């Protein structure tokens, strides 16, 4: 979710990096020229991230928007394998 509390629309670029616990970037997604209308929220999905080679780990998601200034948000992602016992 991208929010614009300004009275004019804003055009931004979005970059999302996912990094494992050793600092290796396992995924980078970039979307350019997103137009966020004035005083509104904008939702952007990033999908089709291939996780088949990921290990169980604590990953860090870093989302950065940039135009004339940059804003960054960081969240943790715990990635675990699930086992089904019958």
Tens of pLDDT, residues 16-35: 999 999 999 999 999 999 99
Position 85 pLDDT exceeds 80: no
Query: CA–CA separation, 72 vs 75, rounded Å?
Result: 10
Q: What is the pLDDT of residues 31-58, one digit of tens each?
A: 999 999 999 999 999 999 999 899 999 9
Q: How far apart are CA 73 and CA 63, in angstroms?
A: 5
Task: Give pLDDT, residue 37.
Answer: 96
At residue 73 the predicted structure's pLDDT band, cuts being 50, 70 and 90, is very high
pLDDT, residue 81, reads 80
């Amino acid at each position: 979710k991208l929010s614009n509390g300004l009275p004019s629309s804003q055009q931004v670029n979005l970059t999302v990096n996912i990094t494992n616990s050793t600092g290796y970037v396992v995924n980078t997604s970039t979307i350019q020229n997103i137009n966020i209308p004035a005083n509104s929220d904008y939702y952007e999905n990033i999908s089709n991230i291939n996780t088949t080679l990921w290990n169980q780990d604590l990953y860090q998601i870093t989302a950065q928007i940039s135009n004339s200034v940059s804003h960054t948000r960081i969240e943790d992602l715990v990635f675990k394998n699930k086992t089904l016992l019958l």
